[in-house]
């Protein structure tokens, strides 16, 4: 078993796994700052610094998706792909995101550039997931990088010859609305300082967003208790 998915993910930690997961889950799910969580922990009789909580997010945020992937429901074959900008230490970077026509998240990718190579890399990342259905149609905006990237995917046999790319702006309204969850979370992040830590933090945001949407088998969209128990289960804290 790989190091990041070992059987004892909280070994040598000062706090229990339940407390760490509670903190990371709430940070990734709600518009809270690290200092907000420090206060919430103090009210529960626990003293922890905001930098410790930040390290927990950076360590465990990326593990959410890795651990939950095999429990994800299948998506449909109508994709919506778009990118939004994220500032990292004042510099604009690009977050590529894809959802299906029902709003289910397919995948995401933080990129330093917004070009054909980045679009191709993102398509490959999406298409290698076991829980996605190969696209019948992909809706995109007018970004000139998408058509050649799409044709490359066809030539490589990653998508079918009958698949279509639709660069029509209104088709992507659903994903532009979905960006709002991430933008709101980033606003309260107290500033993303490096590409690596931004990537780790966004992994946590997006993974919790998927769980909240109801993309986990047998875990309801509005069943917060089941969602909490599911997270504990994939980290080995519950049967």
Does the pLDDT at position 188 exceed 70? yes
C-alpha to C-alpha distance for 71 and 234, rounded to whole angstroms: 10
- CATH 3.30.420.10 in the chain is located at 78-180
Superfamily (CATH H level) for 78-180: Ribonuclease H-like superfamily/Ribonuclease H (3.30.420.10)
Q: What is the pLDDT of residues 21-49, one digit of tens each?
A: 999 999 999 989 999 999 999 999 999 99
Residue 74 CB partners (closer than 8 Å, separation 6+): 131, 132, 133
Residues facing 94 on adjacent strands: 85, 111
Does the pLDDT at position 114 exceed 70? yes
Lowest mean pLDDT among 23-27, 45-49, 179-183, 228-232: 179-183
**CB of 94 within 8 A of CB of 118?**
yes
Does the pLDDT at position 2 exceed 60? no
Q: Which of 15, 178, 176 is nearest to 104 (CA)?
A: 178
C-alpha to C-alpha distance for 28 and 176, rounded to whole angstroms: 20
Beta carbons within 10 angstroms of residue 133's beta carbon: 13
Does this model's pTM top 0.85? My answer is yes
**CB of 115 within 8 A of CB of 145?**
yes
Q: Which of 125, 110, 127, 119 is nearest to 144 (CA)?
A: 119
> Of all residues in the chain, what percent carry a pLDDT higher than 70?
95
C-alpha to C-alpha distance for 207 and 189, rounded to whole angstroms: 16
Place of tokens 């500032």: 87
**CB of 63 within 8 A of CB of 9?**
yes
Which of 73-87, 163-177, 190-204 tops mean pLDDT?
73-87
**CB of 21 within 8 A of CB of 237?**
yes
18-27 core/surface letters (b: 16 or more CB in 10 A; e: else): ebbbbbbbeb
**What integer pLDDT is reported at residue 23 of this predicted model?**
95
Does the pLDDT at position 52 exceed 50? yes
**What integer pLDDT is reported at residue 148 of this predicted model?**
97
**What integer pLDDT is reported at residue 1 of this predicted model?**
44
Helix (H, G, I), strand (E, B) or coil at 82: strand
Residue 152 CB partners (closer than 8 Å, separation 6+): 120
Question: DSSP readout, 108-155?
Answer: EEEES--SHHHHHHHHHHHHT-TTSPPPSEEEE-S-TTHHHHHHHHHH
């Amino acid at each position: 078993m790989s190091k990041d998915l070992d059987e004892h993910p909280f070994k040598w930690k000062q706090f229990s796994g339940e407390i760490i997961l509670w903190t990371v889950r709430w940070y990734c799910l709600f518009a809270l700052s690290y200092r907000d969580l420090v206060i919430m922990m103090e009210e529960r009789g626990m003293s922890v610094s905001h930098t410790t909580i930040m390290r927990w997010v950076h360590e465990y945020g990326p593990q959410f998706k890795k651990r939950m992937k095999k429990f994800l429901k299948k998506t449909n074959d109508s994709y919506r792909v778009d990118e939004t900008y994220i500032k990292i230490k004042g510099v604009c970077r690009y977050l590529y995101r894809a959802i299906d026509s029902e709003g289910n998240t397919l995948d995401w990718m933080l990129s330093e550039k917004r070009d054909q190579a980045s679009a191709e890399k993102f398509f490959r990342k999406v298409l290698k997931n076991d829980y996605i259905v190969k696209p019948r149609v992909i809706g995109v905006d007018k970004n000139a990088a998408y058509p050649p990237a799409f044709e490359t995917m066809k030539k490589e046999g990653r998508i079918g010859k009958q698949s279509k790319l639709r660069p029509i702006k209104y088709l992507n309204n659903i994903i532009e609305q979905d960006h709002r969850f991430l933008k709101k979370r980033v606003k309260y992040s107290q500033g993303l300082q490096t590409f690596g830590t931004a990537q780790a933090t966004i992994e946590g945001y997006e993974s919790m967003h998927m769980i909240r949407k109801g993309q986990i088998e047998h875990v309801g969209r509005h069943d917060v208790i089941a969602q909490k128990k599911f997270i504990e289960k994939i980290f080995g804290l519950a049967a």
